[in-house]
Structure 1
Amino acid sequence: MRAAFIENGQVRVGDVAAPVPGKGQALVRTHSCGMCASEAHFLHAGQNVIDLSRRFGGPYAALDFARPFVPGHEYVGEVLDYGPGSQRTIRTGRRVTSVPIMRAGGGHSVIGFSHECPGGFGELMLLDEAMLIEVSDGLDDDRAAMIEPLAVGLEHARRGRPEAGDVPLVLGCGAIGLGVIAGLRMAGIGPIVAADFHAGRREIALAMGADIAVDPRETSPYGPLPGLNGRRANLVYENVGQKGMLARIIADAPFDGRIVMGGYCMEEEALFVFAAQNKRLNVQFAGGEEPQDMDLAMRAIADGRIDVSLWLAERIGVDGVADAMAAMSGPAAPVRTVVDPRR
């Protein structure tokens, strides 16, 4: 099959072996797949991610960075077939997405970060049939590919256990931060403060439901802001993933504040426990989405409660992956570029 793959920190395009489904596995033809910053991160720090997984435990431990793997974990595709002995839970020809985890066969792999389970930057994928979610007919492919990143944001939002009276602050307005904002707004929590360096992302944050959006280089998002009647944010969602973020949040967070760490930082973090104890802070580490988050994300996109159309930029084929990935960190980068391997 034709695919864009990562090999030794480089994006290449070519033919790779087509996957063959085993028991409990569905063979799926990719229609659309979003490009996530985690794939770009693997280009520069993939070996570090693998080493950390081997040291602390994690699903990336089996990856060999020198061998090609096909990324892409924000996907929608069409069921073509199943492996022998499968339950065939969703009929062939139907579109599906899933939590990007493969557990069938006794293994544990992340779709798109596995040599055995290629992701959506290739024509064909293997998905765990126990994880499949049938996509609503009224949802086009590109918006359906946004179910997974939105679901991560929804998971992070609920991990903070938001409640009436909270003033959430969302740091970083990429797809995950925007999903947090949308989840909070859908739950009726607010006012919501968003902070991002990029003006375009701040505009999208307001469209997703933030009440205030600030450039943290110009205005501290932790202090009283216009429109808050003297109140300060007490529930901080970190979606940046850079070294030093937790220490800075602890220094600026209010007494009895809650912090949700959603950004993936691959470096050791130094902080003053003294400062956190004095403020009685609570720190919650968020992870990936669960099936309940995927289901809510799909229903919310399909019925119009959450509009992800502002996230979407151009559709590209696999030949455009390398250039699009190189441009992901720029100030004008879209929230999501979508790959269609059939192009």
Structure 2
Amino acid sequence: MKAAYIENGGVHVGEMTDPVPARGQALVRTHSCGMCSSEAHFLHAGQNIIDLSRKFGGPYAGLDFHRPFVPGHEYVGEVLDYGPGSERRIKIGRRVTSVPIMRAGGAHAVIGFSHDFPGGFGELMLLDETMLLEISDGLEDVLAAMIEPLAVGLEHARHGNPTSDDIPLVLGCGAIGLGVIAGLKLMGAAPIVAADFHPGRRDMAILMGADIAVDPRETNPFGALPELRGRSANLVYENVGQKGMLSRIISDAPFAGRIVMGGYCMEEESLFVFAAQNKRLNIQFAGGEEPQDMELAMRAIADGRIDVRPWVGERIGVGGVADAIARMSGPDAPVRTVVDPRK
């Protein structure tokens, strides 16, 4: 199969061996796959990510940075076949996505970060049939590829347990922060405050349901904003993933505040437990999406409750992956570039 793959910190395009499904595994032809910043992280810090997984336990421990792997975990594709002995509950020819985890056949891997289970930057994938989510008819491929990143934000929003008494503050308005805002809006939380350095991302935050969007260099998002009539945020969602963020949030958070850590920081963090204890803060570390979040994301996109169409930028073939990854971190980059290996 044709694929864009990562090897030794570089992106290459070429032919890879076609995957063969085992029991419980579906063979899927990729239609569309979103491009996530985690792929860019692997280009400059892949060995560190692998080493941290081996030291602390993590999904990337089985990767060899010097061997090729096909990334892409925000995918939609068409079922072509199943391995022998599989349940085959979704018909061949139907479109599917899934939580990007493979457990069938004795495996335990993240699809797109595995030498055995290629992701959506290639023409073919193997998916765990117990994880498959059948795509609604009428939901176009590029929007279906937004289900997984939206589901991550929905999971984070859900783990904050927002109530009608809360004022949520979302720090960082990339894809995950936008998903958190959409999830909070869906749950009826209001008002929602968003903070990001870049005006385009603040505009996008308002589109997704934020009531207030501020530049934290100009306005303290933890302060009593005029629009809040003297109140201030008490439920903080961190979606930046930079060293020092948790410490700064602890310093600025109000008494009895709640913090949901969604940003993926791979550096050691320093904080004052004294400050967090005195404020009686609750810190929740969010993880990846669960099947319920994927199902909600698909339904909300399909019925129009969450409009992810503004997320979608350029649509490229595998030959454009290297250039797109190099450009994806800028403030003017689209929320998601979409790869179609059939192009």
Measured against the shorter chain, the TM-score band is: over 0.9
Deviation, structure 1 residue 242: 0.4
1:233-252 counterparts in 2 under 5 A? 233-252=233-252
1:196-275 counterparts in 2 under 5 A? 196-275=196-275
Distance across 2 between alignment mates of 1:228 and 1:310: 28
Which residue of structure 1 aligns with residue 169 of structure 2?
Answer: 169
Which residue of structure 1 aligns with residue 342 of structure 2?
Answer: 342
Deviation, structure 1 residue 253: 0.4
Which residue of structure 1 aligns with residue 142 of structure 2?
Answer: 142
Distance across 2 between alignment mates of 1:290 and 1:23: 23
Distance across 1 between alignment mates of 2:45 and 2:110: 17
Distance across 1 between alignment mates of 2:320 and 2:169: 35
1:16-69 per-residue CA deviation (whole Å, 9 max, x = no partner) reads: 111000000000000000000011011111111111111111111000000000
Distance across 1 between alignment mates of 2:16 and 2:216: 45
1:291-319 per-residue CA deviation (whole Å, 9 max, x = no partner) reads: 00000000000000000011000100001
Which residue of structure 1 aligns with residue 70 of structure 2?
Answer: 70
Residue segments in structure 2 that go unaligned for 5+ positions in a row: none
Which residue of structure 2 aligns with residue 159 of structure 1?
Answer: 159
Distance across 2 between alignment mates of 1:331 and 1:201: 8
Distance across 2 between alignment mates of 1:224 and 1:108: 47
- The residue identity in structure 1 corresponding to 2:113 is F
Which residue of structure 1 aligns with residue 5 of structure 2?
Answer: 5
Distance across 2 between alignment mates of 1:330 and 1:289: 26
- The residue identity in structure 2 corresponding to 1:342 is R
Distance across 2 between alignment mates of 1:314 and 1:265: 27
Which residue of structure 2 aligns with residue 192 of structure 1?
Answer: 192
Which residue of structure 2 aligns with residue 329 of structure 1?
Answer: 329
Tell me if 1:129 matches 2:133. Answer: no
Distance across 2 between alignment mates of 1:324 and 1:201: 19
Q: What is the TM-score when the length of structure 1 is the normalising length?
A: 0.99
Tell me if 1:51 matches 2:51. Answer: yes
Which segment drifts farther, 114-123 or 51-60? Answer: 51-60
Which residue of structure 2 aligns with residue 304 of structure 1?
Answer: 304
Aligned residues: 343
Which residue of structure 1 aligns with residue 38 of structure 2?
Answer: 38
1:239-279 per-residue CA deviation (whole Å, 9 max, x = no partner) reads: 01000000000000000000000011001000001110111
- The residue identity in structure 2 corresponding to 1:337 is T
Which residue of structure 1 aligns with residue 105 of structure 2?
Answer: 105
Q: Equivalent residue of 2:228, what SS?
A: coil
Deviation, structure 1 residue 226: 2.2
Q: Equivalent residue of 1:72, what SS?
A: coil
Residue segments in structure 1 that go unaligned for 5+ positions in a row: none
- The residue identity in structure 2 corresponding to 1:305 is R
Distance across 2 between alignment mates of 1:100 and 1:217: 37
Distance across 2 between alignment mates of 1:22 and 1:327: 37
Deviation, structure 1 residue 225: 1.0
Distance across 2 between alignment mates of 1:150 and 1:321: 22
Distance across 2 between alignment mates of 1:200 and 1:18: 41
- Deviant stretches of 4+, over 3 Å: none
Distance across 1 between alignment mates of 2:331 and 2:179: 19
After superposition, the CA RMSD in angstroms is 0.5
Distance across 1 between alignment mates of 2:87 and 2:279: 53
Q: Equivalent residue of 1:227, what SS?
A: helix
Deviation, structure 1 residue 221: 0.5
Distance across 2 between alignment mates of 1:34 and 1:226: 38
Which residue of structure 2 aligns with residue 276 of structure 1?
Answer: 276
- The residue identity in structure 2 corresponding to 1:112 is G
